[in-house]
Structure 1
Amino acid sequence: MLLAVDIGNTNIVVGISNDEAWTDTWRIQTLTGRTPDEYSIILDNFFEQSGQRYNQLDAVIISSVVPQLTPSFKSILKQKTGFVPLVLDGTLDTGIAIRGREPKTIGADLLADAVAAYDHFGDSCIVVDFGSATTVMAIEAPGVLLGGAICSGLKITADAIVERTAQLPQIPLELPEKAIGRNTQEAMQSGLVLGHLCMVEGLIERMQKELGQKVSVIATGGLSTTIAHHTDYFDAVDPMLTLNGMRLVAEREKK
């Protein structure tokens, strides 16, 4: 069984995979101020409540965009499992080539998304990750991550506008019925949520023109299920895409 730990800026997603099925997944709020002991206790509680055992694992992989936490989780997981976790980065043989000047600097989550998206479609594609940042990345056959766009995430943008204005309230991050909002909440939902979706649709269109063809598009990330179903630009929605990419990389390393 595989233990995958995806350390993001907002949440840490922990998953256990038995073959291709994710039998257990948990989310932890990302707090750099937590001690390794605190994270260790949280993991132990998850395992105890689910009936899982560390000695049943045969592989561990970490994807991290929070460098402060990576060493702590490497140490914690090595202590619990007895072997050194694989840390996903641009230097690994993932099956995806990186067309960029600095492969080492690419976000591990973006790389995992690219691996899983290309595996899903088997051809050129675009992956949109609605996370702390919203990313739109283009992958070209036969498996080349060309690059993409990194945008301010929807929740971060919404929090910023509320914080920097005197009268605008926190709102549910849901699409309004119409673009013309009839009150403050609807107007904010139109500008923030619908506007965010329009931005993503525009980026998809521009990238497809640059690719020279209409390619398949997959959405993932915490807000993907909230937003993606309100547009026909997505051919698939997979909230587990990042973990699936990590699983594919771990399987490749075993061979």
Structure 2
Amino acid sequence: MLLALDIGNTNIVMGISHNGDWVHRWRIQTDADKTADEYYVLFSNLFTESNLSFSDLDQIIISSVVPQLTQTINEVLINYADTTPLVLNGDVETGIILDTDSPDTVGADLIADAVGGYALVESDCIVVDFGTATTVMAVEQPGKLTGVAICAGLKVTIDALVGKAAQLSQIPLEPPPQVIGQNTMEAMQSGLVVGHLCMVEGLVGRMEKELEANSIKVIATGGLAEKIGPYTDIFDVIDPMLTLDGLQTIMNRQ
């Protein structure tokens, strides 16, 4: 069995794959202050509830944008699993060309998304990841990560506004009935949710012009993809498992 972990700033997404199929998936809150022992207990409980153990793991791959946690979780897995984790970085053979000014600074999550997206559609594509940050990334044939736009994520934007404006409160993560808001909640939904989608639509449109390809597939992934992705028609595919799929593809190429 393969254990794939995508360690993000807000959540850690974990999946167990057996014979190429995802049989278990968990999303837990990222906590860089937890010790290795605490993560061992957490992982053990999750595995036990699913009738699994560390000894069932044949392969492990980690994508992380939280260096402190990379070390902590890697320590747990080295100590208790019977295999050494592969920590994704620019030196790992992924099958994707990092065609950027500084390939060694490209985040592991972006690499996994690029691999997953290109493997899924096998053509030029734009991958939008709705996470702590919203990233809009261009991938060209024959598997080349050309570049990316990084924006504040939707929840980060909402939290920042609510935190600075005393009379504003949290809102549902969905568009209002109409763009012209009739009350405070609708006005915020219009500006924040619809505004975020307009930003993504604009970036995708500009990237499509710059890529000058005949056919470009647009893919949505990330923690909010299924929640807000359906409210725009730019996406050909909405796949919340894309990052883990990319990690599995990378592991299969080792």
User: Which band: TM-score by shorter chain?
Assistant: over 0.9
Match of 1:144 in 2: 144
Map 1:162-241 onto structure 2 (within 5 A): 162-213=162-213, 214-241=215-242
Indicate the residue corresponding to 1:70 in structure 2: 70
Matched-pair contact (CA < 8 Å) for 1:65–1:108: yes
Name the SS of the counterpart of 1:68 in structure 2.
helix
Give distance in 2, aligned partners of 1:138 and 1:241. Answer: 15
**Distance in 1 between the 2:82 and 2:2 partners?**
14
Instruction: Give the partner amino acid of 1:9.
Output: N
**CA–CA distance in structure 2, aligned partners of residues 41 and 53 of structure 1:** 12
Residues 99-114 of structure 1 correspond to what in structure 2 (within 5 A)?
Answer: 99-114=99-114
Report the equivalent of 2:35: 35
Q: What is the CA distance between 1:175 and its match in structure 2?
A: 1.0
State whether structure 2 residue 86 is matched by structure 1 residue 90: no
Q: Secondary structure at the match of 2:68?
A: coil
* Corresponding residue of 2:246: 245
How many residue pairs match? The answer is 253
Question: Is the contact between residue 90 and residue 103 of structure 2 (CA under 8 Å) also seen in structure 1?
Answer: yes
What do the CA deviations read for 1:9-32 (whole angstroms, capped 9, x no partner)? 001111100122111111221111
Q: Which moved more, 1:183-192 or 1:167-176?
A: 167-176
CA contact 1:88–1:108 (8 Å) conserved in 2: yes
Which consecutive unaligned segments of at least 5 residues does structure 2 have? none
* Aligned: 1:8 with 2:8: yes
Is the Cα contact below 8 Å between 1:91 and 1:103 reproduced in 2? no
Q: Deviations over 1:60-103 (max 9, x none)?
A: 00000000111111111011113220001111110000011221
TM-score, normalised to structure 1's length?
Answer: 0.97
Distance between the aligned counterparts of 1:18 and 1:82, measured in 2?
Answer: 16
Asked whether the equivalents of residues 112 and 245 of structure 1 are also in contact (C-alpha less than 8 Å), the reply is: yes
CA RMSD of aligned residues (A): 0.9
Tell me the TM-score normalized by structure 2. 0.98
Give, in whole Å, the separation in 2 of the partners of 1:124 and 1:80: 41
Identify which range, 101-110 or 128-137, moves more after superposition: 101-110
- Residue range with higher mean Cα deviation, 188-197 or 166-175: 166-175
8 A Cα contact 1:4 1:246, kept in partner: yes
Secondary structure at the counterpart of residue 123 of structure 1: coil
Residue number in structure 1 paired with 2:160? 160
Give % identity: 57
| Runs of 4+ with deviation above 3 angstroms | none
CA contact (8 A) 2:4 2:60 kept: yes
Please say if residues 44 and 53 of structure 2, whose CA atoms lie closer than 8 Å, have aligned partners that are also in contact.
Answer: no
CA contact (8 A) 2:173 2:228 kept: no
